[in-house]
Structure 1
Amino acid sequence: MANIAIIPARGGSKRIPRKNIRSFLGKPIIAYAIEAARQSGLFDTVMVSTDDRGIADVARHYGASVPFLRSAEAANDFATTAQVLIEVLHQYSKQGQSFEYACCLYPTAPFVTGTLLTEAYNLLKANAFDTVYPVQQYAFPIQRAVRLADGKVNWFQPEHALTRSQDLEPAYHDAGQFYFFNVPAFQKTQRLITDNTGGIVVSEMQAHDIDTETDWQLAELKYEAMSDER
């Protein structure tokens, strides 16, 4: 069976207009995801799921396929990533195509490389995970987090108020880049994160969540710094 990379890129981004095809250091940000997927050599199909013909044109220009446009139901503000993936897999199924593994690769993840995708794919298969995705370690111990209410600070976990940072267990969060998953397992649970999910650690310099103009500028600076080190 074949593998597919699915890049979800709807046209209705609110915080950063036209975010998915905005220029990131000289080319549309979605191009980085398409190129990483193609360079990995892991996928028989690299496709973009979008409701926007402008995004579709850009995606095709950089080598992705857009065999159909996303439905209105899967393109509204409340549609989940899982709903988008289910629709894509169903459309391919109607055409007689099925897949063993798939990767949901976000269009605003320029730090993803073919090497990272390959590492995740190998981990997914070697451990028979349902899904593997990149995670980053929190910069500060979450056990020493505080809440702020009416200007007053209180510990979430007061038992760790005096615990040394080096004695606390590291915690991680989703790096927001991709989910590499077993298609039959996903179709059964319709969930990307299950109790059989693996994580692959990426450094602070290997990912950056982009939601604001400041995020965008910092991501470009970080990407340039990473490029200088290669």
Structure 2
Amino acid sequence: MRILYLIPARKGSKGLPGKNTKILGDKPLILYTIDFALNIMEDEDVLCISTNDLEVVKIAEAKGILIPFIRSEELSNDNAASYDVIIHAINHYEKLSQKFDAVLLLQPTSPFRIQEDFVHLKNEFDITTDMVVSVKFAKENPYFTLFEENNDGYLDKSKVGNFERRQDCPPVYAFNGSMYLINIESIKNSKIADFKKVKKIVMPEERSVDIDTLADWTLAEFNLKNENS
């Protein structure tokens, strides 16, 4: 299986400005994801960093990585969707007559994935699957702790069930933002939200940190310190 490794790294984060190049531990945040990709890629795979950030470009080039294009402003604003970024990258390589079976989306805001996680992800993938995604167990549960406001202004449970304890509710999973292994043909035919055949691998809480705010960054620093102690 030939995989396009795609790292989306746009400039202009609102929650934590400059987070992709901010130093976490002893290196820029994005290097955790770049190093992960370089360590697991096969010879036929391709690494693409889709960015409009010149600092990211410098970091990548220092690792000997060629940036194939500078992402357009249209694909770099707050309204740009991951789907459009993925399709843009696929189209770029198809114009160069390079075809792939799957695209592995690796967000640089998730620095703690390990090779074992990817092995599990890849083992779950086959040509009949739209996507295999990394998840974590969700603390909130729609049968027990999640509610929606009805037309009368009262709270109703998001999902009806006869459960008296949260432990008795069916397990609920949340995408942790770390890895999305996507069938190329599936993404060409529909958006990720419309996928019907989605499988999961579960990652532990300590490897499911998705950095979007200063609080997330502080948690990442704490986890990294514990990991190295």
TM range (shorter): 0.7 to 0.9
Structure 2 matches for 1:100-139, cutoff 5 A?
Answer: 100-125=101-126, 128-139=128-139
Q: 1:203 aligned to 2:201?
A: no
**Deviation of the 1:139 alpha carbon:** 2.2
* 1:25 maps to amino acid: G
Q: Provide, for residues 153-184 of structure 1, a one-character-per-residue CA deviation record: whole Å limited to 9, x for no partner.
A: 84526966861222111111111112111112
Structure 2 gaps, min length 5 = none
Q: In structure 1, what is the equivalent of residue 170 of structure 2?
A: 169
- In structure 2, how many angstroms separate the alpha carbons of the residues matched to 1:183 and 1:162? 40
Q: Provide, for residues 87-109 of structure 1, a one-character-per-residue CA deviation record: whole Å limited to 9, x for no partner.
A: 11111111121111110100111
Q: In structure 1, what is the equivalent of residue 6 of structure 2?
A: 6
- Once the two structures are overlaid, the 10-residue window that deviates more, 153-162 or 113-122, is 153-162
* 1:17 maps to amino acid: P
Q: In structure 2, what is the equivalent of residue 86 of structure 1?
A: 87
- Once the two structures are overlaid, the 10-residue window that deviates more, 213-222 or 184-193, is 184-193
**Deviation of the 1:38 alpha carbon:** 1.3
SS in 1 for 2:101: strand
**Deviation of the 1:5 alpha carbon:** 0.3
- Structure 1 residues 99 and 143, CA gap change in structure 2 (3 angstroms): same
* 1:80 maps to amino acid: A
State the TM-score, normalizing by the size of structure 2.
0.88
State the TM-score, normalizing by the size of structure 1.
0.87
**Deviation of the 1:141 alpha carbon:** 3.4
Q: Provide, for residues 179-211 of structure 1, a one-character-per-residue CA deviation record: whole Å limited to 9, x for no partner.
A: 111112211224366111111111111211212
- Once the two structures are overlaid, the 10-residue window that deviates more, 33-42 or 136-145, is 136-145
Superposition misfits of 4+ residues, deviation over 4 angstroms: 146-149, 152-155, 157-162
- Once the two structures are overlaid, the 10-residue window that deviates more, 181-190 or 158-167, is 158-167
Q: In structure 2, what is the equivalent of residue 221 of structure 1?
A: 222
Q: How many residues align?
A: 225
- Once the two structures are overlaid, the 10-residue window that deviates more, 183-192 or 209-218, is 183-192
Q: In structure 1, what is the equivalent of residue 30 of structure 2?
A: 30
- In structure 2, how many angstroms separate the alpha carbons of the residues matched to 1:36 and 1:56? 17
Is 2:148–2:158's contact at 8 Å kept on the other side of the alignment?
no
SS in 1 for 2:86: helix
**Deviation of the 1:69 alpha carbon:** 0.8
Q: In structure 2, what is the equivalent of residue 95 of structure 1?
A: 96
Q: Give the superposed CA RMSD.
A: 2.4
Is 2:134–2:201's contact at 8 Å kept on the other side of the alignment?
yes
* 2:198 maps to amino acid: T
Q: In structure 1, what is the equivalent of residue 78 of structure 2?
A: 77
SS in 2 for 1:120: helix
SS in 2 for 1:135: strand
Q: In structure 1, what is the equivalent of residue 41 of structure 2?
A: 41
SS in 2 for 1:224: helix
Is 2:163–2:169's contact at 8 Å kept on the other side of the alignment?
no
Q: In structure 1, what is the equivalent of residue 58 of structure 2?
A: 57
Q: 1:19 aligned to 2:28?
A: no
Structure 1 gaps, min length 5 = none
Is 1:131–1:182's contact at 8 Å kept on the other side of the alignment?
yes
